[in-house]
Amino acid sequence: MGHGGDVIEELTTDHREVEELFGRIEAMPSGDERRKNLADQVTIELVRHSVAEEMYLYPAVRQYLPDGDAIADKEIEDHTTAERTMKELESCRASDPEFDRLMRDLMREIRSHVQDEEQNLFPRLRREAGAGALGELGEKVRKAKKTAPTRPHPASPSTPPANKLLAPGAGLVDRARDALSGRGKSG
């Protein structure tokens, strides 16, 4: 799937990639250790996506939508719930009985969040923010994802300026840990 375009196109591409990983997990039998690797890949993608949204999308939502503060606060709350689930999932093996429950919870949380964004938030933002602003946000989101953390940090700040200051450092540490452990590598 190609990345690029405005912020809505970029984030929608992320949604499709995560859904494809969910489908692969669902197609495997319970206890299959390959599910853990896919769950790690899902977590990496979701954390990078969430951090980028919190850095750039939600401030734009606050700016362009009259009820933007309430919407952004709810979206950040959704992210926090999902991050807690991902944090629990991080310490589970695929053979752990909790793995299946946590994976189902995460899929439900993310699918609900994606549906709300794509059916409500994105169309409203497209109407209210100009194409130029959405294009700039797309570029900022792509850059943020390159340095964003890859592991859940549910206690980290979710709003600017603190998240913009801390996320790159956490991302550097996470990527170093991932490289040393082989986490998130397909195969």
pLDDT digits (tens, 9 = 90+) for 117-173: 999 999 999 999 999 999 999 999 999 999 888 777 766 655 565 555 555 556 656
Query: Which pLDDT band, with edges at 50, 70 and 90, does 19 fall under?
Result: very high
Q: Are 82 and 76 in contact (CB under 8 A)?
A: no
Question: Is there a domain that residue 86 lies in?
Answer: yes
Residue 4 pLDDT level (bands cut at 50, 70, 90): confident
Range of the domain at 78: 7-181
Specify the number of domains making up the chain: 1
| Span 49-78, average pLDDT | 95
pLDDT above 80: residue 177: no
CATH of the domain at 115: 1.20.120
Whole-model pTM above 0.85? yes
Structure confidence at residue 2 (pLDDT): 62
Task: Round to whole Å and give the CA distance between 62 and 8.
Answer: 16
Residues in the chain: 187
d(CA 103, CA 89): 7
What is the rounded distance in angstroms from the CA atom of residue 137 to the CA atom of residue 106?
Answer: 27
Domain membership of residue 187 (yes or no) is no
29 falls within a domain: yes
CA dist list (Å): 71 to 11, 23, 121, 128, 159? 17, 29, 8, 14, 13
* Residue 59 counted as domain residue: yes
d(CA 39, CA 140): 26
Give the pLDDT score at 50: 93
Q: Give me the pLDDT at residue 187, please.
A: 46
How far is the CA of 61 from the CAs of 64, 76, 77, 78, 164, in angstroms?
5, 12, 15, 15, 17
State residue 154's pLDDT score: 67
> Given pLDDT bands bounded at 50, 70 and 90, which one contains residue 45?
very high
Report residue 67's pLDDT band, with 50, 70 and 90 as the boundaries. Answer: very high
Is position 141 within any domain?
yes
| Within-domain flag for 109 | yes
Residue 63 lies in a domain: yes
Instruction: Report yes or no on 167 lying in a domain.
Output: yes
In this structure, is the dihedral angle defined by the CA atoms of residues 54, 56, 60 and 63, taken in order, positive or negative? Answer: positive
